[in-house]
Structure 1
Amino acid sequence: MPEREPDAEEAVSAPAPGAEDDAPVANPEPSPLEPRTWREIGADLLRPGRSQVVLAVILLLCGLGVTMQITAQRDQRYSTLRQDELVAMLDDVTGETRRLESDIATLERTRDQLATGADADAVARAEAHRRLDALELLGGTVPARGPGIRITISDPQGKLTPEILLNAVEELRDAGAEVLAVGDVRLVASSAFTVSTTGVLQVDGHAVARPLVIWAMGDRDTLAEATRFRGGLVSTIEGDRVGGSVVVTKLDTMDINATVIPKPMRFGRPV
C-alpha cells in the first residue's frame, strides 16, 4: 500500500534531522560572585599581578615627583635670600612670637581675674574699654600717637602703581603696623588705591601728593626692616620698575590725626 503523506501541521512541526544539535541553547543564569575571604585577599597582596606592580610603580614615581617639586620650591624661597635678609626674617618671626605670647598672657590674666569673682565687674568694664580703644584705632575713627616710621617715596617718572602701594601696605601690616596713613588719608580695611581717568594716583578717592609719604605706627625696627626685603618696597621703588627713591625715618613719637567717618549700616542692626 502507498505510504500516507504527512499533514501540513506535522510537516511544519516535525524537526529536521539533526536540527536538535544545531538549535541555540539558552545561556544559563550567571551565578552570583561569591564573597572573597581575607585569606584570598592576603594571598593576592603577597602575589600581585603584573598590572598591579606597574600601577604601584607609577603611583610611587608620581608621589616622589610631587614631593621633590614641593621641596625644591620651599628651598628656592630661602636659598636666594642674603644673610642679612634671613636674619631680618628671623627677627620678625621672633618679634611676632613675643607679641603673641604677650597677648596670650594678657588674656589668661584677664580670664583668671574674671573667674575669681573679685572685682569682676570692674575687670569686665576695663577689658571692654580696652577692646573699644583697639577697635577705634583699627577702624580709624580716632587719632593715634606712638612710635613708628615715616616712608617718603619719590617717583620722578610717575611709575608708582596701586599694586605697589597695596603690597607695601600689606608688608607693613604683616610686620605689625597698627595704624597706617598715606599723606592725610587714614588707611582702614576698606581703603583702596586707584587711578583716576586722568592718570592720577588716588587713595580712597583723594589724590596722592608727591612725594608720597606713608606713616606706619608700630615697632620702629621691625617696620623699617620689613621695607628692605629683596622684592619689597625699597627694592621695588629703587629698581628699574619704578626708578625712584625711598627714605625710611624712624620716629620715637608721631601723631596720625587723620580719621575716617564710618559709613552707616544699611542692613545690619545690633540685637
Structure 2
Amino acid sequence: MSTGDDDRRPVAEQPGVEQPGVEQPTADEPGGEYEADAARADRAPRRISAANAVIAVLLGLLGFAVVVQLRSNATDPGLSAARPEDLVRILSDLDSRSDRLRQEIASLEASQRQLASGAQGRGAAVEEARRRADELGILAGTLPAQGRGLQLKFVAGGEAIAAGTLLDAVEELRGAGAEAMQIEGSGGRPVRIVASTYFTDAKGGGLIVDGTRLTGPYTVVVIGDPQTMHTALNIPGGVVDSVHQRGGNVIVQESDAVRVTALHEVSAPRFARPVS
C-alpha cells in the first residue's frame, strides 16, 4: 500500500518527455537540441566511401614515390657532385634521345598510313621494303654508308688505350644514335663495327677487333647526329673523361661528310633457313 511519501517520489526522467516543474533547455541555450543533434551525430557510425578509399591509397602511393625519388637523387653521388654545365649536357643528351624517338615514331606512323592507302599501298610497300633492306644492310655492316657524323682519334698517354675503353665508346655512341661505325689503327685495314664485334687486348700491345690486330692511335669513324654524340661522349665519367684521367687524349672532329667503307663479312647460316 502506498503512503503519502511514496506519492511524492520523483518520476524517472525519460528522454524526450517534459518533466513537470523542470525547465527544458531551448535551442538557443547550451545543452539544447543542437547539442543533442551533435551527440546523435557522434554516436552515428561514419562510413568511408570506396572513392575516398581509392583517393587515399593513390595519395599514399604518390607520397611514397616522391620520397623514394628524392632519396634516390640525394644519394646519387654522380649527379649531386656534377657541375651545372655537366647537368646541362646530360639533360641535352636526354632531350636529343627523346626527339630522336619521336621522329622514329612519326616515320613509322607515316609508313603505316601509306601501306594502308589502298591503290598506293603496293608501291609504298615495295619502297618501304627497299628502304628497310638498306637500313638492315647498314646495321649489319654489309653496305657502305655516308652522312653526318664524327671522327674520333684515341691517343694514349701514360697508359695504353684498353679494349674496354673503346668498347665503352662504342656503347656510348650507340646510345646516342650512332648508325654506322668503323675502327682503324696506325696500319692495316679498317674494321666495321656491328652488333657482334668484339674487342680484346692483344699480347705485346694493341687490340684485336673481330680477329684483326690494330695498333694505336685508333681512329673511330661514326655516322649519326654529331652534336648528340659529342655531348654523350663528354658526360662526366664517360669515355673522354676516363681517357683524360689516364693521361691520354680524345680528338673529336665533326663532319658533314663521313664515309664508312669497311664491310662486315657475314657467314652463311649452317642450320637456319628462311620460311616463306
TM-score by length of 2: 0.69
Match of 2:219 in 1: 213
Distance 2:106 2:69 in 1: 40
2:193 aligned with 1:187: yes
Could you list the per-position Cα deviations for residues 131-188 of structure 1 after superposition, in whole angstroms to 9, with x for gaps in the alignment? 1111001000011111111111111444321111111110111011111111111100
User: Does the CA contact (< 8 Å) of 2:206 and 2:215 recur in 1?
Assistant: no
Match of 1:265 in 2: 269
Match of 1:121 in 2: 122
Per-residue deviation at 1:217? 0.8
Per-residue deviation at 1:82? 1.6
2:204 aligned residue (159, 177, 198): 198
Once the two structures are overlaid, the 10-residue window that deviates more, 138-147 or 191-200, is 191-200
Distance 1:69 1:266 in 2: 53
Alpha-carbon spacing, 1:84–1:266, altered in 2? closer, same or farther (3 Å): same
Match of 1:142 in 2: 143
Distance 2:165 2:273 in 1: 37
Aligned-residue RMSD, C-alpha: 2.2
Match of 1:154 in 2: 155
Distance 1:200 1:71 in 2: 40
User: Does the CA contact (< 8 Å) of 1:155 and 1:244 recur in 2?
Assistant: yes
Could you list the per-position Cα deviations for residues 103-122 of structure 1 after superposition, in whole angstroms to 9, with x for gaps in the alignment? 11121122122222121110
Alpha-carbon spacing, 1:72–1:253, altered in 2? closer, same or farther (3 Å): closer
**Residue identity matched to 1:221:** Q
TM-score by length of 1: 0.70
Match of 2:19 in 1: none
Alpha-carbon spacing, 1:141–1:198, altered in 2? closer, same or farther (3 Å): same
Match of 2:179 in 1: 178
Report sequence identity in percent: 37
Could you list the runs of 5+ residues in structure 1 that have no partner in the other structure? 1-62
Distance 2:207 2:116 in 1: 52
Distance 1:111 1:72 in 2: 40
Per-residue deviation at 1:214? 1.0
